[in-house]
Amino acid sequence: MTEARRYSLVAILLHWAIAGLILLNFAVAWRMEDLKGLAKFEIFQLHKSIGFTVLTLSVLRLLWRLVNRPPPLPARMPPWQRAAAIATHWGFYAVMIFMPLTGWIMVSVSDLNIPTLVWGVVPWPHFEFLHELPKASRKAIGGASHTAHMALAIGALLLFVLHVAAALKHQLVDRDGLMGRMIPGLGARSATE
């Protein structure tokens, strides 16, 4: 039995959907603090909707990844590059799951108690046990969550730059066909090539 040279269609679709939503959410977040009134409420709802969608898709992607092995890395790839690739991928999973979770915690402990309607339709609950804590505890948790959310956002940007730089290096310098594993239309080479 030969190993797959490409990621599965499900993995590819989840990869690009999540990547697009994360980039969109960074653009939305960039605008959030400058707005007032209804516009601010609407952009926060959009930001939360995108975040909860990323969380849902990321959990599905992680489950898919645990059940479906990815294609192997090229055999001639140096060990440090293999380690960096693996660490970057697992770092992305951490960011894709924990960044929305920290946002969810912030919403849950907020004094504003504004309900979340994902995409204006699906009610998303707060973490009720957090919402019922004393105000001082909620404030401390909210501050820690905000700090973690921002640190994860910075981590996501760093991982994104590293990921894109490595993909371009493999495509333009090494010419090893590694990008073809995830980009439709590009040929993927086997791990032994």
Check: CB of residue 100 under 8 Å from CB of residue 54. yes
Q: Indicate whether 84 pLDDT > 50.
A: yes
> What is the spatial distance between Cα 75 and Cα 18, in angstroms, rounded to a whole number?
28
Q: What is the pLDDT of residue 190?
A: 45
Q: Is residue 135 part of a domain?
A: yes
pLDDT at 193: 43
Q: 168 pairs with which residues across the strands? A: none
Tell me if 146 sits within 8 A of 154, measured CB to CB: no
In a domain, 4, yes or no: no
Asked if residue 188 is part of any domain, the answer here is: no
13 lies in a domain? yes
* Cα–Cα distance measured from residue 130 to residue 111, given in angstroms and rounded to the nearest whole number: 11
Within-domain flag for 1: no
Residue 1 pLDDT grade (very low, low, confident, very high; cuts 50, 70, 90):
very low
Domain that holds residue 159: 9-181
What are φ and ψ of residue 75, in 5° steps? -60, -30
- The pLDDT mean for the chain works out to 90
Name the DSSP class of 116.
Answer: E
For 34-59, the pLDDT digits (tens) are 888 899 899 999 999 999 999 999 99
Q: Residue 9 region, left (φ>0) first, then alpha (ψ -120 to 50), else beta? A: alpha
Average pLDDT rounded to a whole number, residues 9-27: 95
Overall domain count for the chain: 1
Residue 31 lies in a domain: yes
> In 10 A of CB 173, how many CB atoms?
8
Answer whether residue 189 shows pLDDT above 80: no
What b/e sequence results for 25-42 when a residue is b if at least 16 CB atoms lie within 10 Å of its CB, and e otherwise? beebbeeeeeeeeeeeee
**What confidence tier does 2 reach under pLDDT thresholds 50, 70, 90?**
very low
Helix (H, G, I), strand (E, B) or coil at 86: helix
pLDDT per residue over 70-81, tens digit each?
Answer: 888 888 889 999
Residue at 177 is within a domain? yes
Q: What is the CATH number of the domain that holds 136?
A: 1.20.950.20
